[in-house]
Amino acid sequence: MAFAQALPRSLSPSRLQDFQACPRRYQYGAVERRERPASYAATKGRFVHAVFEKLLDAEAEQRSADLAYSLIPDAGRRVLDDKVRAELALDADAEARLNSEVRAIVDTYLVMEDPRLVTHEGVELRLNATIEQTPLFGILDRLDRDANGDLVIVDYKTGSLPRRDYESSSFANTELYAALCEEKLGERPRRIRLMYVAQGESLERSVTEVVTRARVGAAAGAWRKIRGYFDAGQFPARPSPSGCRFCDFSNICPDAAVTVSAH
């Protein structure tokens, strides 16, 4: 059975993660473009990112704490549209809690760094390039230029710090961003900084050619499989209790390894 939709034009790190977790999840999200229901955690993440985007987009000397706090209401209006409110069943109490949690994250962030001292090459930077015949696309939260003149990829995380044995997978997306930067800008970022802004801690890792090559190789292998499954008209399911439990499509997937109620 052929798909009614065209093959996606590019592969982003998050859709690559979907594919690697379960090809059927990629089919539902990237090929069939089924909507993902809003979740409280993802909405809070978008809310925080919206505040930081505007804050770091301002001129360096204007990036004060007052400006950061003043950006919260407008970011909330942009992120909490009617659809999101309905899906989250967001009443006044829940919205007040969400606002105060975002405010607390902004407080924590302002302890982690002084945004007035940040020098960057861009925020919410959209990059695309075809590498090893694989069309890649990504949006970087921020690309800094550090005091040594080196590029540093900065990624904000609003979830919990990973366990030590999961740290490598936390860097996977950003290491693919590093390959995109190198291809598009002609310069490989020197480091990646994951800022866990809810907890006030960062994880940092150097970027090496070996790592970016490995990430591109994995993406290219996945893209070849995606094309094959697309041509075949179906992506196989790879159910697992832990994967299906957090899958946005478990309510429509006949192979889900969990019993779920409709979202």
String of DSSP letters for 42-108 = HHHHHHHHHHHHHHHHS-GGG--HHHHHHHHHHHHHHHS-HHHHHHHT--HHHHHHHHHHHHHHHHH
- Are 52 and 109 a contacting pair, CB within 8 Å? yes
| Cβ distance to ligand SF4 smaller for residue 217 or 239 | 239
For residue 166, the SS3 value is helix
| Cβ distance to ligand SF4 smaller for residue 76 or 239 | 239
- Are 255 and 22 a contacting pair, CB within 8 Å? no
CB of 96 to ligand SF4, least distance (A): 33
- Name which of residues 7 to 46 contact ligand SF4 (CB under 6 A): 22, 24-25, 28
CB of 247 to ligand SF4, least distance (A): 3
**250 contacts ligand SF4 (rule: CB under 6 A):** yes
For residue 41, the SS3 value is helix
- Are 8 and 31 a contacting pair, CB within 8 Å? yes
CB of 251 to ligand SF4, least distance (A): 8
**255 contacts ligand SF4 (rule: CB under 6 A):** yes
Closest C-alpha among 75, 160, 168, 167 to residue 124: 75
Pick the stretch among 112-120, 163-171, 182-190, 249-257 that binds ligand SF4 (CB under 6 A).
249-257
CB of 241 to ligand SF4, least distance (A): 9
| Cβ distance to ligand SF4 smaller for residue 28 or 196 | 28
- Name which of residues 214 to 243 contact ligand SF4 (CB under 6 A): 237-239, 243
As a whole number of angstroms, the distance between CA 25 and CA 6 comes to 17
CB of 242 to ligand SF4, least distance (A): 9
Query: How many residues bind ligand SF4, per CB under 6 A?
Result: 16
Partners of 126 in the beta sheet? 139
Binding site for ligand SF4 (CB under 6 A): 22, 24-25, 28, 237-239, 243-244, 247, 249-250, 253, 255-257
